[in-house]
Amino acid sequence: MRYSSETDRAWKAAARCRGLDPNLFYPERGDGGGDEAKEVCRECPVQVACLEHALRFREKLGVWGGCNEADRRRIIRTRAQGLRRKRDQETAGSVGT
């Protein structure tokens, strides 16, 4: 997805959390929590766009796209491992050609 301020405005306009107490999405700092916010996100029509935004901009705090900080770190780590594995396979496949 290509991001622009217009794209940002579009998904944010449809956010299910609009008008809700922001404190719900920024629970006590730490690795866990945000279960109430995650419940809201679960039914949000722009959950994927929201999560991708948070991952792209490395949002450090809060619940975005149904994921808290620890969830996002796990996703980033998993994606990085997948990219490394793919690169290694490609490198191994090109050896000897």
8/88 with CB nearer ligand SF4: 8
Distance between CA atoms of residues 66 and 45, nearest Å:
12
Show the tokens assigned to 78: 């998993």
Longest Cα separation, the chain: 60
Q: How far is the CB of 81 from ligand SF4 (least distance, A)?
A: 25
Residues 57-96 contacting ligand SF4, CB under 6 A: 63-66
Residues 9-68 contacting ligand SF4, CB under 6 A: 15-17, 25, 40-41, 44, 46-47, 50, 63-66
Distance between CA atoms of residues 2 and 63, nearest Å:
22
Distance between CA atoms of residues 28 and 31, nearest Å:
9
Question: What residues line the site for ligand SF4 (CB under 6 A)?
Answer: 15-17, 25, 40-41, 44, 46-47, 50, 63-66
